[in-house]
Amino acid sequence: MFWQQFRNRGRNILQAQAASEGDFSARCTCWIIRSVEKKSLPTKANREIQKLEQEVRLLILNVAKEHSRGSSSEHDDCIKTKHNGLLRSIVNSARHCPASFRGSAEDYIVDNCKSIYFAGHETTAVTVTWCLMLLATHPAWQDRARAEALEVCRGGTELDVDVLRRLKTITMVIQETLRLYPPGSLIMREALKDFKLGGLDIPRGTIIQIAIAMLHLDKDVWGQDAGEFRPDRFANGAAAACEPSHMYLPFGHGPRICAGQNLAMMELKVVLVRLLSKFAFAPSPGYRHAPLFRLTVEPGFGMPLVVTKLP
């Protein structure tokens, strides 16, 4: 239901958000501490970002308002309505924002919709893209993954949770793809008090950036072949792939780990099983390898592949 409500406006929202992310990410690489002050400066880049963020906000609120007007039981609890959709749940919850939320009901709707719409859509799609590129350039692994996909699809087997859990090769391929091309290029945390990090004094309020891609390519952790595609690193699971285990964090780590990581893994497995069981992928001569580090790690010049339908 969430995606149905956003279907007609989705492209406009994504385009506006992508432009905002592009400007924001370019400046993120220059931010080290106290980004709040820098974001407040009346620069051209800041004005452009504020304009784009306002555009995204209005697009989301318009969809939410149209949804509310079209609801036959707008003031009922979401569990009592005919369609227990995610968007409806967000709109209803906004009427009773938790005390810990610092903002208006509209802020609550926009923040939650952005988190679900962008984090739950673009990150999964770009990971599938990188998976296909890596399998196209590593045909032996593509053959192994396809054999597993064909095995589970045999006899029209339904891809339920139990079947997806048994996909060891495809799971390793996804985990290694997430290591080399994490969907989020960085995460940020704010220091809640003064502390020391190594030899650095970190004052309260400092915004700390963690470059996930750099952690995932650290040769002291992953070995001299850290930059190579080797899914069997994850033969014993993600927790045993490196030491310490929190050096692998495509979904973050700790209490603020991605709430949708299990759903994302299931989506990735289903998409790869369907694609690999029907098509073969090979590199395109026109492909230019240029990962673009925005809020997600995207192919800078697209991802052209030679796709062949299997007999």
- Of residues 127, 242, 258, 296, which has the active-site annotation? 258
Max CA pair span of the chain: 63
Residue 31 one-letter amino acid: W
- Of residues 123, 177, 206, 296, which has the active-site annotation? 123
For the question of residue 153 being annotated catalytic, the response is no
Q: How far apart are CA 213 and CA 285, in angstroms?
A: 27
Q: How far apart are CA 233 and CA 245, in angstroms?
A: 13
Give the gyration radius of the chain's Cα atoms: 22
Contact 265, 159 (CB under 8 A): no
For the question of residue 113 being annotated catalytic, the response is no
Residue 258 is labelled as binding a ligand: yes
Enclosing H/E stretch for 108:
helix 105-119
Mode of pairing for the β-strands spanning 195-197 and 279-283: unpaired
Please report, to the nearest 10 degrees, the dihedral formed by the alpha carbons of residues 245, 251, 256, 262 taken in order. -100
- Of residues 6, 234, 251, 281, which has the active-site annotation? 251
Q: How far apart are CA 20 and CA 60, in angstroms?
A: 15
Q: How many CB atoms lie within 10 A of CB 234?
A: 22
The binding site comprises 258
The binding site for heme comprises 258
Active-site residue list? 123, 251, 258
